[in-house]
Chain A
Amino acid sequence: DQQVKQNSPSLSVQEGRISILNCDYTNSMFDYFLWYKKYPAEGPTFLISISSIKDKNEDGRFTVFLNKSAKHLSLHIVPSQPGDSAVYFCAASENTGNQFYFGTGTSLTVIP
């Protein structure tokens, strides 16, 4: 029933190195994908998105890659900073859909 999956509940990375967060989905009708960052006791903050017509979108230190054939997307953060420590949620939607489907999140810790 979970159409968007984040199989790694947590990830630790050294400051300055690359963080790679992964996300898989099952619904081939999804055509828009988003990443959100969430600090404790706050709402999710939109980070970056990608349409299914693209395979890469970059915004500063954040790059999202989409592999439609594998139904897989990833978020790369480079270089990682301690302030990036948060829970990252992957989300997906259909062009004619009514909702965003969220993964269960990956908790990223960037070690100074």
Chain B
Amino acid sequence: NAGVMQNPRHLVRRRGQEARLRCSPMKGHSHVYWYRQLPEEGLKFMVYLQKENIIDESGMPKERFSAEFPKEGPSILRIQQVVRGDSAAYFCASSLLPGGSTEAFFGQGTRLTVV
């Protein structure tokens, strides 16, 4: 009955380093979404993945950001050469069916701080 698991909960990186955020969806869920919440803002869509496929990455910055959801293992959001503006809470959600007529369940988030 484990929910969506994200790790780490908190991540501190220096400018120029890489950040790797992990997300294990709920059991049986094959649809994963990544959202970012900047301070004092709402949740902004980044990317939607199914197993081994990126379905929609329209919300993800074209450079430095990438995401994957391999056949085995968690989904990974990777940010290369982090900058201060990347500091935010990153949330992963999963759903049983494609987004559209189903609920998505969120993890606790990873709070990235770039110093």
Quote the shortest CB–CB distance from B52 to chain A (angstroms). Answer: 16
Contact bitstring B82-115, A, C-beta under 8 A = 1, else 0: 0000000001010000111111111111010000
* The one of B41, B44, B59, B106 that contacts A44, using a Cβ cutoff of 8 Å: B106
Please state if A98 and B55 are interface contacts (CB–CB under 8 Å). Answer: yes
Q: How far is the CA of A95 from the CA of B100 in the complex (A)?
A: 4
Q: B104: which A residues are within 8 A, CB to CB? A: 34, 46, 100
B42 on the A face (CB < 8 A): yes
* The one of B59, B106, B109 that contacts A99, using a Cβ cutoff of 8 Å: B59
Q: What is the number of contacts between chain A and chain B, taking CB atoms within 8 Å?
A: 67
The stretch from A14-22, A54-62, A66-74, A101-109 touching chain B is A101-109
* The one of A43, A89, A93, A95 that contacts B109, using a Cβ cutoff of 8 Å: A43
Q: How far is the CA of A45 from the CA of B111 in the complex (A)?
A: 17
Q: How many residues of B contact A (CB 8 A)?
A: 28
Q: Can you offer 28 A-B residue contacts whose CB atoms are under 8 A?
A: A34-B103, A36-B106, A41-B109, A42-B109, A43-B4, A43-B6, A43-B106, A43-B107, A43-B109, A44-B91, A45-B106, A93-B99, A93-B101, A95-B100, A98-B48, A98-B55, A98-B56, A98-B98, A98-B99, A99-B33, A99-B56, A99-B59, A100-B93, A100-B99, A101-B45, A102-B44, A102-B45, A103-B42
Q: What residues make up the interface of A, taking CB atoms closer than 8 Å to B? A: 31-32, 34, 36, 41-46, 49, 51, 89, 91, 93-105
Q: Which 5 A-B pairs have the closest CB atoms?
A: A104-B42, A98-B56, A43-B106, A102-B43, A99-B45
